[in-house]
């Protein structure tokens, strides 16, 4: 009886562990902590800095993870931005243009001073690497939140 109980508990741990793992977004970098810039986002996002801003590499690189439906406010970068999609399904939109669906492996090159937003789809978490080139002169200007109507 003890053997059956032990096997049952072991099976539950294995199945339960796989269930928990399957809920995690499979991405190569740690998702990090709750985003300290959350006042510029709708929903919950996480930030893991990979390369801090400096004048040696002239860039800032971070992994940003979005829970389902989470997104940035409209914003722009004076030196541009590059997004490398790691996992999940996301959305990207430039002001005045249609929304683009983003999938693993997509690259988005955002020219300087272009107003845009990006985030997760309503059905999937989403993760991307954000590269802000042209440091130290690349400043982010945060604008108004993306409305639910604009998001849909």
121-149 per-position pLDDT tens digit:
999 999 999 999 998 889 999 999 999 99
> Rounded to an integer, what distance in angstroms lies between the CA atom of residue 146 and that of residue 152?
10
- Name the 3-class secondary structure at 88: strand
Residue 17: predicted pLDDT: 36
Residue 23: predicted pLDDT: 53
| Pair type for strands 140-142 and 75-77 | antiparallel
Residue 47: predicted pLDDT: 97
Enter the DSSP assignment of 17: H
Which parts of the chain register pLDDT below 70? Answer: 1-23
DSSP 62-86: EEEEE-TT-EEPSEEETT-EEEEEE
- Name the 3-class secondary structure at 110: strand
> Rounded to an integer, what distance in angstroms lies between the CA atom of residue 117 and that of residue 126?
14
Which domains, ranges and CATH numbers included, belong to the chain?
A: 28-151 (2.60.120.10)
């Amino acid at each position: 009886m003890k053997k059956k109980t032990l096997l049952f508990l072991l099976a539950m741990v294995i199945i339960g562990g796989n269930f928990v793992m399957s809920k995690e977004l499979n991405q190569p970098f740690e998702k990090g902590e709750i985003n300290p810039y959350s006042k510029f986002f709708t929903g919950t996002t996480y930030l893991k800095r990979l390369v801090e801003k400096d004048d040696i590499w002239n860039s800032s690189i971070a992994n940003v993870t979005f829970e389902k439906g989470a997104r940035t406010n409209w914003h722009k970068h004076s030196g541009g931005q590059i997004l490398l999609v790691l996992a999940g399904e996301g959305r990207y939109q430039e002001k005045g243009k249609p929304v683009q669906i983003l999938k693993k492996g997509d690259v988005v090159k955002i020219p300087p001073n272009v107003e845009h937003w990006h985030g997760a789809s309503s059905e999937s978490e989403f993760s991307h690497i954000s590269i802000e080139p042209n440091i130290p002169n690349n400043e982010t200007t945060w604008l108004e939140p993306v409305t639910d109507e604009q998001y849909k």
